[in-house]
Structure formats: C-alpha cells, structure tokens
C-alpha cells in the first residue's frame, strides 16, 4: 500500500472497509435504483409482446439509468460521505488528502467513473481485490478510500 495512504489511515484512526461489505453495499444501491426503474417501466414491459421489445424498452432508458446512478452517488457521497448501501453497511467514502467527506467535484468524478468501471466488464471493481488499499478505479480517479464508519 502507498505510504501516504498508510500514514493518512494511521493518523486518522480509520480502517479500510472489507470488500465483502462493499459488495453488499453495491448490491443494495443497485437494487434500489433497479426497483425505481422497474416501477417506472412496469406497464410498458408488461405490455411488450417479445423479449426484443423488452430489450428495446430497457435500451431506450439506459442513459437515464446511468444519469440517475451518477446523480444518486454524487449527491449521497457529497452530502453524507456514503450511499444508502454504504450507510447500511456502516462505511463511508473519504478523500485521501483530507480523510473527510468528498467535495462535490470529487464525488461527481467518483460517480462517473463508477459507471465506466461497470461498463468495462466490471474490471474497475474487480481491481479492488488486487489493490492493497482496496481501491476501485473510481476510487483511484477520485483519490478516495472506503473506510469503516
């Protein structure tokens, strides 16, 4: 692990959050957003006559789903230092430089690269399993860590 990260963790008294809890938090967040879109799309999907029509409906709202995720993660991480999933799992996101809740620009950067990490076969998420600081690509681009709350 990078010496500056080790020093910042030691001085702040914070510990890195375990990857298992981060995975559960991810699932909670994605379920919440998915439920919202299922409710919104229930009628058109139930009226679709084929799998192709369902795929068309879902593809037509993909950008809106991505924007919703960006907005959700940006606002929650900026305001509370955590998404609802992370709050439930007692974790928070901090900037490495300050070990405080991320600024708006940092939270936005993290949220955008979270989407990109998922689009590239989730490699950006898997990266955390091999990184000593347990950072995903979106953590690296935003210079953030996920720690126990």
Q: Report the pLDDT value the prediction gives residue 1, as an integer from 0 to 100.
A: 87
pLDDT tens sequence across 28-45: 999 999 999 999 999 999
pLDDT digits (tens, 9 = 90+) for 67-96: 999 999 999 999 999 999 999 999 999 999
Q: pTM for the complete prediction?
A: 0.93
Predicted confidence at residue 107, as pLDDT, reads 98
* pLDDT over 70 percentage in the chain: 100
Cβ–Cβ under 8 Å, residues 144 and 93: yes
Angle at 109 between CA 103 and CA 115, to 5 degrees: 135
- Distance of alpha carbon 23 from alpha carbon 19, whole angstroms: 6
Q: What is the DSSP string of 54-117?
A: HHHHHHHTHHHHHHHHHHHHHHHHHHHSS-HHHHHTTEEEEETTTSSPPPHHHHHHHHHHHHHH
Show me where the domains of the chain are located.
3-148
């Amino acid at each position: 692990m990078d010496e500056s990260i080790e020093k910042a963790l030691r001085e702040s008294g914070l510990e890195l959050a375990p990857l298992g809890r981060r995975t559960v938090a991810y699932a909670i967040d994605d379920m919440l957003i998915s439920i919202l879109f299922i409710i919104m799309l229930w009628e058109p999907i139930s009226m679709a006559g084929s799998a192709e029509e369902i795929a068309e409906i879902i593809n037509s709202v993909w950008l809106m789903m991505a924007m919703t995720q960006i907005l959700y993660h940006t606002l929650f991480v900026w305001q509370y230092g955590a998404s609802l999933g992370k709050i439930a799992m007692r974790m928070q996101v901090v900037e490495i430089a300050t070990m405080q809740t991320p600024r708006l620009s940092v939270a936005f950067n993290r949220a955008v690269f979270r989407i990109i990490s998922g689009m590239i076969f989730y490699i950006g998420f898997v990266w955390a399993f091999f990184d000593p600081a347990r950072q995903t690509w979106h953590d690296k681009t935003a210079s953030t860590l996920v720690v126990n709350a």
